[in-house]
Chain A
Amino acid sequence: MTAFILRRLVSMLLVLFCVVSLTFLLARLAPGSPFDKERTPPPWIKERQLQKYQLNGTLWQQYTSYMRDVVHGNLRVSFRYRNRTVNELLAQTLPVTATIGLAAFLIATTAGIWLGCLAAARHHTPTDTGAMLGALFAISIPTFVTGPLLILVFGLNLRWLPIGGWGNWSDILLPAITLAGPYTAYIARIMRTGMLDVLGQDFIRTARAKGLTERKIVYKHAVKVAILPVVSFLGPLAANLLTGSIVIETIFNIPGAGSFFVNSILNKDMFLLCGVTIVYCTLLVGLNLCVDVAYTFLDRRIKLYE
């Protein structure tokens, strides 16, 4: 187990190193910078500016000095938001993104697992067909369609929920539901397939022969095994939720890290762009490590059971 985690940690660091280098180089080599104004400034001013942001010297020098700063946890200052460090900006916005992501994660997993179990337990009934058709709809309709439509219905026509902004607990509801929608559907589909496989196995027949109720069989015995494919989907799920929240934040006007990411690209705000990418990747790769560890743990227990 320790060896496994260590090996994963090494590969995680390798991935992060590659991502950071790639992002830095691409952002540095991309033409255009916020220093480009309509008038070209005299060379000495440009030199001064570059020096201020530690972007002078050869590319190799810039790269190594940036990497040194990143290792020390310093993501440098933003070009656009004057005199504010990227660390500061991220510390303000990341909790917001994390809250939405977590809420969506909880909704997607609980609703998805429940729906999947329900559909599998009632295989070949209208409930099953309806749930799977609903899942296909949820997967096919993008969140930037469902989001504005939900605003239109619940925010503007019914006036039940706020249409955007951040501050009250009720502000989380609509964005989280919108974000969770497609992933609830994915999880429901994965759960249903897994459950159908498990329900055909011998130990379930034994459970049935013992005279257990169907409810007990599905929710107590079969779920433990059938949930494994869902657990292995949690890694990609986290990646998708993080990417998806960028759109959600734009639709609902939420001051999260995602909108900073989009703006940093539009403004050519290099250090902010690198910072957000680094933090997102670290988060994800870390989460994936947790999922992998959880999976081997769960898997081992199940092997003992069988």
Chain B
Amino acid sequence: MNEPTVWQRLQKRNTAKLCLAITAFVVLAAVAGPFLLPSGYGDLTSNQFAPPSLSHLFGTDLNGRDVLFRVLEGARISLLVGGAGALISFFVGTAYGLISGYAGGKIDAFMMRGIEILYSVPRLIIILVFINAFDSGLKHWFAALHWDTFIAYSRIIILILCLGLIEWLTMARIVRGQVLALKSQQFVAAARSLGQSHVKIVTRHLLPNLVGVVVVYLTLTIPAVIMDESFLSFLGLGIQAPQASWGSLLSDGAQVINPVRSYWWLLVFPAAVMSSTLLAFNFLGDALRDALDPRQRK
């Protein structure tokens, strides 16, 4: 087995390495950045709409807060929602695809028809109805349980849950296809004829072989969830002030664009950070997919 591993193939691509570095940098900056900036950058000051300068690299916003600080804070929430949402979608999608592919026959046909239907309804619109129906309910529930720290985060929690529950369709399809292919292979037939239980076949033989594909689609789901979250926040229906995500920052930035005076830094910097992060994730996902693609191994 002298075939290069996926990791080695990925290492050969310089752009993929660059994208990995960008994502790592953004994650690191989001986690550590707000601590490294001078204290008070997130406070309300009278220094409104200051253009970018040495002390405020990205300028300041309507309330005199440093835009770099806000962007990093937004990165925390956007990445948290993206990561956690993708993780939920990973569990749901893998489970759905596994069951559908492994069961086969009528169950499979039925489950796949369900996915087709879900593809065709405006999921984000229905999810909006969900979020607004359950948000205050969750708040009351936390209050009743005296989990006071969670009350401020109820919006984020509901966002993560809902977005995770809509972005699993592609994952389920891919996993199912893979399971169908694996199921017909000889080692699975051998395991079955040896009398292994279904659970063991799934966990010992199928799941380890699915890791590759699943990781690729996990990488591609993270930017999708981040995009959905900022879509909702941009409309004012996602993250609520004073918390910020990239979407809500962009919404603030888009509002102050007018013919009289444009505060371009409020729009350009969050847009640049968000777009380059999403680009890096998408590029990385594509590169991983190519690296895993058996057709490219010739």
Interface string of B228-269 (1 = CB under 8 A from A): 001100111100000000010011011001010010100100
| Nearest 4 Cβ contacts at the A-B interface | A140-B279, A30-B133, A26-B133, A140-B278
- 14 residue pairs of the A-B complex, CB under 8 angstroms, read A15-B117, A15-B121, A23-B126, A136-B286, A140-B275, A140-B281, A141-B275, A141-B278, A142-B275, A145-B274, A163-B259, A247-B235, A261-B128, A280-B122
Which residue on chain B has the smallest CB distance to residue A157? B262
Report chain B residues within 8 Å CB of A277.
Answer: 125-126, 129
Chain A residues in the interface with B (C-beta under 8 A): 11, 15, 19, 22-23, 26-27, 29-32, 136-137, 139-142, 144-145, 147-149, 151-152, 156, 163, 235-236, 239, 242-243, 246-247, 250-251, 261-262, 265-266, 273, 276-277, 280-281, 284-285, 288
Interface string of B116-128 (1 = CB under 8 A from A): 0101111111101
The answer, yes or no, to whether B271 is at the interface (CB within 8 Å) is yes
Interface size class of B (residues with CB under 8 A): 35 or more
Q: Roughly how many angstroms separate A239 CA and B132 CA in the complex, as a whole number?
A: 21
Contact A281 B282 (CB under 8 A): no
Contact A29 B133 (CB under 8 A): yes
The answer, yes or no, to whether B137 is at the interface (CB within 8 Å) is yes
Q: Which secondary structure characterizes the binding site on chain B?
A: helix
Report chain A residues within 8 Å CB of B117.
Answer: 11, 15
Q: A30-B133, A148-B254 are in contact. Are A239 and B120 (CB under 8 A)?
A: yes
Which residue on chain A has the smallest CB distance to residue B128? A265
Q: Roughly how many angstroms separate A197 CA and B283 CA in the complex, as a whole number?
A: 22
Contact A144 B122 (CB under 8 A): no
**Contacting B136 at CB < 8 Å: which of A15, A30, A261, A285?**
A30
Contact A144 B275 (CB under 8 A): no
Report chain A residues within 8 Å CB of B251.
Answer: 144
Contact A145 B271 (CB under 8 A): yes
Report chain B residues within 8 Å CB of A11.
Answer: 113, 117
Contact A19 B130 (CB under 8 A): no
Contact B235 A250 (CB under 8 A): yes
Report chain B residues within 8 Å CB of A29.
Answer: 133
Contact B237 A265 (CB under 8 A): yes
The answer, yes or no, to whether B164 is at the interface (CB within 8 Å) is no
Report chain B residues within 8 Å CB of A27.
Answer: 129, 133
The answer, yes or no, to whether B93 is at the interface (CB within 8 Å) is no
The answer, yes or no, to whether B223 is at the interface (CB within 8 Å) is yes
Chain B residues in the interface with A (C-beta under 8 A): 113, 117, 119-126, 128-130, 132-134, 136-137, 223, 227, 230-231, 234-237, 247, 250-251, 253-254, 257, 259, 262, 264, 267, 271, 274-275, 278-279, 281-283, 286
Which residue on chain A has the smallest CB distance to residue B278? A140
Q: Roughly how many angstroms separate A297 CA and B252 CA in the complex, as a whole number?
A: 48
Q: Which secondary structure characterizes the binding site on chain A?
A: helix
Q: Roughly how many angstroms separate A140 CA and B223 CA in the complex, as a whole number?
A: 8
**Contacting A262 at CB < 8 Å: which of B230, B237, B286?**
B237
Cβ of B297 to closest chain A Cβ, rounded Å: 17
Given A140-B281, A144-B247, A262-B235: 8 more A-B contacts, CB < 8 Å = A11-B117, A15-B121, A136-B286, A140-B223, A145-B271, A236-B119, A276-B125, A277-B126
Contact A148 B253 (CB under 8 A): yes
Report chain A residues within 8 Å CB of B121.
Answer: 15, 19, 239, 281, 284-285
Contact A243 B125 (CB under 8 A): yes
Most chain B CB neighbours (cut-off 10 Å) among A29, A139, A235: A139
Q: Roughly how many angstroms separate A30 CA and B254 CA in the complex, as a whole number?
A: 31
Most chain B CB neighbours (cut-off 10 Å) among A15, A23, A145, A250: A145
Contact B282 A136 (CB under 8 A): yes
Cβ of B289 to closest chain A Cβ, rounded Å: 12
Contact B126 A284 (CB under 8 A): no
Report chain A residues within 8 Å CB of B126.
Answer: 19, 22-23, 277
Contact A144 B125 (CB under 8 A): no
Q: Roughly how many angstroms separate A218 CA and B255 CA in the complex, as a whole number?
A: 46
Q: Roughly how many angstroms separate A19 CA and B117 CA in the complex, as a whole number?
A: 11
Report chain B residues within 8 Å CB of A239.
Answer: 119-123
**Contacting A251 at CB < 8 Å: which of B223, B254, B275, B286?**
B254
Contact A147 B133 (CB under 8 A): no
Q: A243-B124, A261-B125, A262-B237 are in contact. Are A144 and B231 (CB under 8 A)?
A: yes
**Contacting B257 at CB < 8 Å: which of A137, A152, A235?**
A152
Q: Roughly how many angstroms separate A302 CA and B151 CA in the complex, as a whole number?
A: 58
Cβ of A116 to closest chain B Cβ, rounded Å: 16
Q: Roughly how many angstroms separate A182 CA and B121 CA in the complex, as a whole number?
A: 19
Report chain B residues within 8 Å CB of A273.
Answer: 129
Which residue on chain B has the smallest CB distance to residue A156? B259
Which residue on chain B has the smallest CB distance to residue A273? B129
Contact B132 A30 (CB under 8 A): yes
Which residue on chain A has the smallest CB distance to residue B132? A265
Which residue on chain B has the smallest CB distance to residue A26? B133
Q: A27-B129, A136-B286, A251-B254 are in contact. Are A284 and B237 (CB under 8 A)?
A: no
Report chain B residues within 8 Å CB of A31.
Answer: 136-137
Which residue on chain A has the smallest CB distance to residue B235? A262
Which residue on chain A has the smallest CB distance to residue B113? A11
Q: Roughly how many angstroms separate A266 CA and B257 CA in the complex, as a whole number?
A: 24
Report chain B residues within 8 Å CB of A163.
Answer: 259
Contact B122 A242 (CB under 8 A): yes
Contact A139 B282 (CB under 8 A): yes
Cβ of B131 to closest chain A Cβ, rounded Å: 9
Contact A144 B230 (CB under 8 A): yes
